Amino acid sequence: MKLGIFDHMDRGLAPLHRFYEERLKLVEAYDKAGFYGYHVAEHHATPLGVAPSPGVWLAAVAQRTKRLRFGPLVYLLPLYHPIKLLEEICMLDQMSGGRLMLGVGRGISPIELRYYGLDPEQTPSMYAEALEILLSGMTNPRLNFEGKHYTYRDVPMEMTPFQTPHPPLWYGLGRVEAIPWAAQNRVNIVGNLPGAGMRALTDRYRAEWDALGNDPAELPLMGVGRHVVVAETEKEALEIARRGYDKWRTSFLKLWIENDMMPVAHAIFPERYEDAEAQGRAVAGTPDKVRDFLQRTVDDAGLNYLLCRFAFGDITGDEALHSIDLFTRHVMPDITAHQESI
């Protein structure tokens, strides 16, 4: 059982220059605590994500950490020139000694895609072609590709990744129908669904993995993201969580509300923090409460990976550091040792 971090980098109340430094101090704490991976979202033109250039942010993360794996969850492939992104991926993997986790996707917000002049109807095929280009470019000395959106002929691939054949792939996933592709390509997956929804995904993944004749010990990571606040008392934890969740959700919905659109189904979160916790999407409390909640989360969803959001909304750097400290000392050892009975 592995533990990771998911970070929307949603804008809090601090000035941006101070926000970035506070977040880097949290990243250092994740590294020191022994978390497996750090995943950052990519969003644009919204307070939900003030790391719109994940590569720039992750280069700083690489320099401030020693063991922590890291990556975007996800790079929005249609927004990039494929060769330019390929070179950036190779640089990050080399600079970090092979710690990059390559999250890829097409983007769930048509609003953000349109800001870049893209037709959301075209981005699925753009994503598919771009991913094929990235994988080919990292495993061949020259790139040749001809598609609907991109064409490259005999392009020298000077840059190569540290990891071979390429950094591990990650994908944000909410539909059972996408599982066969993930299993066939050994893709690690992360979702945001409540327990029953995630269990359907992980059960299908294990079934597909077994049907392919793969070693169960090599099963990719299957994780879920949860908001987590730990404090000495439940009252203190709930006060922080309510405040942070309200600000985070406001940022999350800002573009959708301004454009009078409903978010995609698997991106809808309850209005009140208490309802999010009741749905199993968040937990705030003492170490004992958090430990019990997360162990149930692992069992109910059939997970082998769990991503925590310690810093969200207007939660301060000091509040998040205190939560991480309590989690590391009183929760983390039991969760990492916990084995789910499938």
Tokens 């925590």 belong to which residue? 308
pLDDT of residue 339: 61
Cite the DSSP H helix spans in the chain: 16-33, 54-64, 82-95, 110-115, 123-137, 179-184, 195-211, 234-258, 273-278, 287-301, 317-330, 332-337
State the maximum Cα–Cα separation within the chain, in Å, rounded to a whole number: 62
Average pLDDT over residues 281-287: 97
pLDDT of residue 253: 92
Look at 115-129, 253-267, 278-292 and tell me which has the smallest mean pLDDT. 253-267
Cis-peptide into 194, omega within 30 deg? no
Give yes or no for residue 287 having a pLDDT over 60.
yes
Average pLDDT over residues 108-136: 96
pLDDT of residue 265: 64
Residues 207, 222 contacting (CB under 8 angstroms): no
Angstrom distance (rounded) from CA 101 to CA 70: 6
Which DSSP state fits 100?
A: B
Q: How confident is the model at residue 342 (pLDDT cuts 50, 70, 90)?
A: very low
Angle of helix 54-64 versus helix 16-33 axis, rounded to 10: 50
Helices (H) and strands (E) in the chain, counts: 12, 12
Angstrom distance (rounded) from CA 102 to CA 39: 10
Q: Enter the tokens of residue 40.
A: 């950052």
Angstrom distance (rounded) from CA 332 to CA 326: 9
178 exposure class (CB count in 10 Å sphere: 0-12, 13-18, 19+): middle
Residue range 225-234, pLDDT digits in tens? 999 999 999 9
Q: How confident is the model at residue 238 (pLDDT cuts 50, 70, 90)?
A: very high
First to last CA, the chain: 13
Compute the mean pLDDT over every residue in the chain, rounded to the nearest whole number. 95
The closest of 322, 156, 140 to 237, measured between CA atoms, is: 322
Amino acid letter for position 336: T
CA distances from 315 to 46, 87, 204, 260, 291 (A): 18, 35, 36, 28, 21
Look at 93-97, 168-172, 338-342 and tell me which has the smallest mean pLDDT. 338-342
Average pLDDT over residues 299-310: 96
In three state form, how does the secondary structure of 258-274 look?
HCCCCCCHHHCCCCCHH
Give yes or no for residue 340 having a pLDDT over 80.
no
The closest of 184, 272, 287 to 230, measured between CA atoms, is: 287
Angstrom distance (rounded) from CA 297 to CA 305: 11
Above pLDDT 70, what percent of the chain? 98
Helix %, strand %, coil % for the chain, to 5? 50, 15, 35
Amino acid letter for position 254: K
pTM of the model: 0.96
Residue range 20-48, pLDDT digits in tens? 999 999 999 999 999 999 999 999 999 99
pLDDT of residue 219: 97
Average pLDDT over residues 197-214: 96
Residue range 254-276, pLDDT digits in tens? 999 999 988 776 667 899 999 99
pLDDT of residue 341: 44
Contacts of 285 (CB under 8 A, 6+ apart): 229, 230, 231, 234, 237, 238, 293
CA distances from 162 to 63, 100, 155, 262 (A): 16, 9, 20, 41
Q: Higher confidence at residue 175 or residue 142? A: 142
